[in-house]
Amino acid sequence: MSVPFQDYYEILGVARGADAKEIKARYRKLARQYHPDLQTGDKKKEAEEKFKRINEAYEVLSDPEKRAKYDRLGANWRMGQDFEPPPDMGDVHFYTHAEGFPGGFSDFFETLFGGGGFAREGFTGRRRTRGPMPGEDRETEIALTLEEAYRGGEKTVQLAAGAVCSVCGGTGRARERFCAACGGTGVNRKETTLTIKIPPGVREGSRIRLRGQGGEGVAGGRRGDLYLTVRLAPHPTFALSGSDLETEVVLRPEQAALGDRVPVPTLDGEVFMKVPAGVHAGTRLRLKGKGWPDGAGRGDEYVKVIIDLPGPLSENEINLYRQLAALRTGSGGANR
């Protein structure tokens, strides 16, 4: 079985002849730059991957025995090239059937060092004396459109959540070495698809608790919970303010002057709203009970009046506006 070769010197950015002090200084510098616990948001996941590679390189190059074994092979391969483990060479043993740790150190490391010398069973035994440890609670956000939040229902989401590593218990180290199962990050990232039931009328910032969907427990400990914080996406038609919805309706000047019944959007579909005669631009008309669910009742919807011309006017319409303007001039001013 061939695995991609890892150039640990290249990963740490040190020369092949670098001494232990230089390697440690370089590791610390890279760890400061890529440590996942120093990152926020989306940068965390990317940093985790990088940090695992850095830890793996340091695990090998900081240990004289491992480094010597690695150096006997290193000169013949380049980063990423396929590495085929040769038959054992004297005191050098290769692990061709090593049980790897998906998501932790690379297959190359497993082949050379067989999982870093700490098998799952050994740690489980140690863990047993510590007793069960509950899984970590996780937090993430769920983005909903206004319609999804209003109506509720099911939504499928993909989560790439990090769970406390069950081998090192989240400390990143086991038996004074980096934990090969999580690459020293203390976290194992798993992609899960969940179908979540959204309750109707959920609001911005609401937290949905999903019991038992957090990190896995250790040694029989219960699973943690998953908390989803609701984020409402901006809507092209509505704005939500408390329990009230706000929207706009465009009226022609004669509709504003004479009043009308006009269609307006609501979250339940279009309704007809009575516009009183002589309404001014900017007036907010209320549609009672058409807002956001609020306890047993609902808020209101406020419709802001915009007055605008419908587009190019016909000759006839222009003439009528001229008559109107003349009338207005006669009564004391063109613009009043």
Partner 1 sequence: MKFTIKFHQHTFFPGEEVWLPVALTGISALTLQKMAETGCFEVRDGAVRAENLHDVLRVIRLRRHLGVNLAGAAVILAMLDRLEKLERENEQLRRRLGY
Would you tell me which residues interact with partner 1 (CB under 8 A)? 28, 31-32, 35, 37-38, 40-41, 55, 130-131, 133-134, 136-137, 154, 156, 164, 169-173, 184-186, 192-199, 206-211, 213, 218, 224, 231-234
Nearer to partner 1, 130 or 328 (CB): 130
CB 52 within 8 A of CB 105: yes
Grouping H, G, I as helix, E, B as strand and the rest as coil, residue 48 is helix
Give the distance from CA 43 to its chain's centroid.
10
Give the distance from CA 87 to its chain's centroid.
45
- Minimum CB distance to partner 1, residue 236 (Å): 9
Contacts (Cβ under 8 Å, ≥6 apart) of 148: 155, 198
- Minimum CB distance to partner 1, residue 252 (Å): 28
Q: Which residue pairs from 129-133 have beta carbons closer than 8 angstroms and sit at least 24 positions apart in sequence?
A: 130/169, 130/219, 131/219, 132/217, 132/218, 132/219, 132/220, 132/221, 132/222, 133/164, 133/169, 133/217, 133/218, 133/219, 133/221
Classify each residue of 84-103 as buried b or exposed e, where b means 16 or more C-beta atoms within 10 Å of its C-beta: ebeeeeeeeebeeebebbeb
- Minimum CB distance to partner 1, residue 1 (Å): 27
Nearer to partner 1, 16 or 231 (CB): 231
DSSP 288: T
- Minimum CB distance to partner 1, residue 164 (Å): 7
- Minimum CB distance to partner 1, residue 58 (Å): 10
Nearer to partner 1, 18 or 208 (CB): 208
Nearer to partner 1, 35 or 93 (CB): 35
Helices and strands counted in the chain (H then E): 9, 17
- Minimum CB distance to partner 1, residue 242 (Å): 14
Q: CB atoms < 10 A from the CB of 37, how many?
A: 12
Nearer to partner 1, 185 or 255 (CB): 185
Grouping H, G, I as helix, E, B as strand and the rest as coil, residue 235 is coil
Nearer to partner 1, 117 or 199 (CB): 199
Nearer to partner 1, 16 or 43 (CB): 43
- Minimum CB distance to partner 1, residue 139 (Å): 10
Closest CA to 95 of 83, 111, 108, 117: 111
Nearer to partner 1, 86 or 132 (CB): 132
- Minimum CB distance to partner 1, residue 131 (Å): 7
Measured distance CA(213)–CA(227) in Å, rounded: 9
Closest CA to 187 of 57, 48, 53, 55: 48
